[in-house]
Structure 1
Amino acid sequence: MWTHKSWQGRLVAHPLPSHERLRHYAGWCNAVEGNTTFYATPTRETVASWARQTDPDFRFVVKLPKVITHERRLGDVEEPLREFLDAIEPLGPRADALWIQLPGSFGPADVAALGRFLHRLPTSHRYAVEVRHPSFFDDSHSISALEEVLTAASAEWVPFDTTAFFQSPPTTDPEREAWTRKPRMPLRTAALTDRPIVRYIGRDDSARTVEGWQRWIDIVAGWLREGRSPTMFIHTPDNVDAPVLARRFHDDVRARVPELDPLPEPIPVEPLTLF
């Protein structure tokens, strides 16, 4: 996601043509979740536009289409997978990881299917898997079986931290909507690879979002000291200040790990003048 109505004219210039929107987002953050690819595989021309708007070290975590993960549940997917991999090829090194988000019904009995799917994937990409079945969080045998399959494929397990969001009842309309849609996920903080990916959702109250991410400051700083290169995505139900909050999280981590590079400077919303 790199466009949001509430950002226009406040965090990014408005109006912006479609081929400039990602470039302005990339002035705030150096990574993005590619959610739109879940609903439809983009054209190569569209993906080439994304590449032109970003530097080679910008990170895309691109979600596999739902026809692969949810409809066919990783079986008989050769054609849609081929089309997807061909479409994202223009990203080159920007495709930091291909994100395999699995439905809540995808449980321990399906781990073998996941293993076969990962084994068939090209080694030219990194892969990150997000699971939502409760057994992968409260059953030690299921956890070990999944970790074994992911480790064999050098794939990461993506935690989706919703614990701060579900800590108390919703107070805004976006929170109430998210309350019925977001999964209540147990906390997971372990990393399997040198490129961990975390998804975190706080509250529309920025202070509560910051309070809820404090544990991740220590975890991410620790990963960096170990030589890992984590990617952290910060969300709120309304996402009004998500880029600002992401930069604040980065600054909080950088206060612990000063050698961490700063984020880029945002493109000014209004032209700079001398007066």
Structure 2
Amino acid sequence: WYGKATEDFQFSPKIPRIISHIKRLNDTERLVDDVVANMLPLKEKLGCCFLQMPDNFMPKWMERLEPFFKHWPKEIPLAVELRHTDWYNDQHIADQLNDLLLKYNLASVIVDAAGRRDLLHMRLTNATAFIRYNGANHPSDYTRLDDWLERIGEWYEQGLKQLYFYVHQNLEEASPLLSAYFIEKFNKKFGRDIVIPQTLASKK
């Protein structure tokens, strides 16, 4: 993987399901060590890793988070997605979660899903924004991207250093179209030259 990727490419490995879904962060130190050992050969091409907990992982298991965060290597950035809405419905619980992420310098995954925006919190816990954008193969997908460009601009003014923005679609062949639209506008807004993916339309 390291040899096949271009110099400016970074991988964002997802933490295996055995850790997140099967063990549910319980007694996972040895598994984490094994995962980390297998990722280290990516060297400078290793970007922010991604821990996605199952839908039914609720705040009653909050005590499992800190031991996992504490064991995770500080040199490897990590973003955490907690998908149950109870993590965000109660301000006290949300504050506890954010304090933990701040303590260990971890990013909080922000999910924007069309038709379901109950997990669309807007709290950054470090200088990294990790956004999972789910389209609906609908024209509103593009206007929502415009809104994100404005939000990212605000965060950039406030000190945002890194952005991970992942585009998903119900019909995935449309994902490159959304990505191309977003990157083209991003480049213009921020003076960047990120490569725009080739789409079927651009090949004609």
**Match for residue 21 of structure 1?**
none
**CA gap 1:120/1:160 in 2 versus in 1, 3 angstroms:** same
Q: Using a 3 Å threshold, how does the CA distance of structure 1 residues 268 and 196 change in structure 2: closer, same or farther? A: closer
Q: Residues 74 and 140 (structure 1 numbering): CA distance in 2 closer, same or farther, change over 3 Å?
A: same
State the Cα deviation string for residues 20-63 of structure 1 (Å, max 9, x = none). xxxxxxxxxxxxxxxxxxxxxxxxxxxxxx21122343222211
Structure 2 unaligned runs (5+)?
none
Are residue 107 (structure 1) and residue 65 (structure 2) matched? no
The count of residues paired between Structure 1 and Structure 2 equals: 199
Q: Which amino acid aligns with 1:198?
A: I
The alpha-carbon deviation at position 244 of structure 1 amounts to 2.8
Do the aligned partners of 2:168 and 2:175 also contact (CA within 8 Å) in 1? yes
Mark the CA change 1:268 to 1:130 in structure 2 (over 3 Å): closer, same or farther.
closer
Name the CA distance, whole Å, in 1 between partners of 2:52 and 2:118.
Answer: 14
Check whether the contact 1:64–1:101 (CA below 8 A) recurs between aligned residues: yes
- Bigger CA drift: 238-247 or 194-203? 238-247
Deviation, 1:253, is 2.6
Shift of 1:193: 1.2
Q: Are 2:168 and 1:235 equivalent residues in the alignment?
A: yes
* Counterpart AA for 1:123: K
Question: What is the RMSD of the two structures over their aligned residues, measured on CA atoms?
Answer: 2.1
- Show the counterpart of 2:195: 264
User: What are the residue-to-residue correspondences of 1:14-53 with 2, within 5 Å?
Assistant: 50-53=1-4
Q: Provide the rounded CA distance (Å) in 1 between the counterparts of 2:100 and 2:53.
A: 15
Mapped partners of 2:51, 2:141: distance in 1: 26
SS at match of 2:101: helix
Asked which structure has the greater RCO (Cα within 8 Å, sep 6+), the reply is 1
After superposition, the Cα gap between the structure-2 partners of 1:104 and 1:265, relative to the gap in structure 1 and judged at 3 Å, is: closer
Q: Does 1:252 align with 2:190?
A: no
Alpha-carbon offset, residue 97 of structure 1: 1.3
Deviation at 1:74, TM superposition (A): 0.8
Assess, with a 3 A threshold, how the Cα gap between structure 1 residues 189 and 251 changes in structure 2: closer, same or farther.
farther
Shift of 1:67: 0.6
Q: Show the counterpart of 2:42.
A: 91
CA contact under 8 A between 1:104 and 1:133: conserved in structure 2?
yes
Distance 1:225 1:55, change over 3 A: farther
1:115 to 1:244, Cα distance in 2 relative to 1, 3 A:
same
Counterpart position of 1:123: 74
TM-score scaled to structure 1, two decimals?
A: 0.67
Q: 2:106–2:126: 8 Å Cα contact kept in structure 1?
A: yes
| Aligned-pair CA distance for 1:65 | 0.6
Deviation at 1:101, TM superposition (A): 0.6
Aligned partners of 1:113, 1:102: CA distance in 2, in Å?
Answer: 12
The letter of the residue matching 1:73 is R
1:218 aligns with 2:169: no
For normalisation by structure 2, the TM-score amounts to 0.88
Alignment-mate amino acid for residue 187 of structure 2: R
Letter in 1 for 2:174: D
Provide the residue aligned with 1:67 in structure 2: 18
Q: How many angstroms does 1:112 deviate by?
A: 2.0
Cα distance in 2 for residues equivalent to 1:254 and 1:102: 32
2:165 maps to a residue whose letter is M
Cα deviation code 1:7-32 (max 9, x no counterpart)? xxxxxxxxxxxxxxxxxxxxxxxxxx
Question: 1:115: how far off?
Answer: 0.9
Shift, 1:200, TM fit: 0.6
SS state at 2:47 partner: strand
Cα separation, partners in 2 of 1:263 and 1:254, compared to 1, 3 Å: closer
How far off its partner does 1:267 sit? 7.6
Higher Cα Rg, which structure:
1
Shift of 1:91: 1.2
